[in-house]
Amino acid sequence: MVVQLFGKYQRVQQPGASWVCFPIQTVFPTSLAVQQIQCNSDCKTKDNVTLTVATAVQYRVDVSKVKEAVFDIKEPQRQMAAHVDNVLRSTLPNMDLDEAYCAKDKMVKGILDSVRNAMTPYGYEILNVLITDLKPEQSVLRAMNEINAAKRMREAAIEKGEADKTIKVKSAEADAKAKELSGVGVANMRKAIMTGFKGSVDSMQECGLDTKDTIQMMMVTQYLDTLKEFSNGKASIMVPHGQGGMKDVESQVRNGFISASSLSG
């Protein structure tokens, strides 16, 4: 409490039993506890977004300057709020909305320094400043959410495209490798067939058969083996043919063997 004598400051009376001489002495109650005021400042950012900044200022009266706090200043809470508004409305116009969300520490320091410098001479100790909320208009919040959603959808589409591209590239590489190995297998198979035919021809010639008779015998044997394999099928149709067709087959096989022999030689 502040004790006044004929309206003049006399002393600070701490809590406890005390006496005053009324009416020449009067008492003015003053709290020394930590207090807080809530400020809501309407501001505009660099990208023309209107938002409300909620700020909390925590303060208390300096016990060594109670006289200044009681008699030298009027409505200190409103003056603190005015300094908060002044700092915010001079800082936020230099930032866009995204920067404002990231610059809370910078704004808090500016507010704390400004309010502390203004109120300390009047006996008010500024303990802390908190920016508790940044509230843009609802239309701005909806637009920000839509932008973020579109951005994430675009990123998801890019990732999906890259995944599809990788799958197709790997599939093409696998198909090319399979065809390459298939070609190698066919070439090796044909080489083995020619080697086998050449060995059969050499064995028959060692038994006294000439080249013509050897080829004739191999063709007939191969022809009969083919008919045998063909007849084992469930949907086989036999087409009659004459000796001319056999002659054509024989000449084709003979030419093939002669070519193979020349290549191997």
Tokens found for residue 179: 């065809």
Cα–Cα distance between 68 and 73 in angstroms, integer?
A: 7
Q: Is residue 119 pLDDT above 70, yes or no?
A: yes
Of 36, 76, 42, give the one whose Cα is nearest residue 56. Answer: 36
Mean pLDDT score of the chain: 78
Model pLDDT for residues 44-59, shown as the tens digit of each residue:
888 888 889 999 999 9
Tokens found for residue 184: 């190698």
**What is the helix, strand, coil percentage profile of the chain, to 5?**
60, 20, 20
pLDDT of the residue at 87: 92
Residues of the chain with CATH 3.30.479.30: 33-162
Full-prediction pTM beyond 0.95?
no
Q: Which residues contact 64 (CB under 8 A, 6 or more apart)?
A: 123
- Topology given in CATH for the domain delimited by 33-162: Tetrahydropterin Synthase; Chain A (3.30.479)
Quick check: 135 and 52 in contact, CB under 8 A? yes
Of 222, 221, 217, 215, give the one whose Cα is nearest residue 251. Answer: 215
Model pLDDT for residues 134-157, shown as the tens digit of each residue:
888 777 777 777 777 788 788 888
Q: Is residue 258 pLDDT above 60, yes or no?
A: yes
**One-letter amino acid for residue 70 of the chain:** V
pLDDT, mean of residues 192-206: 74
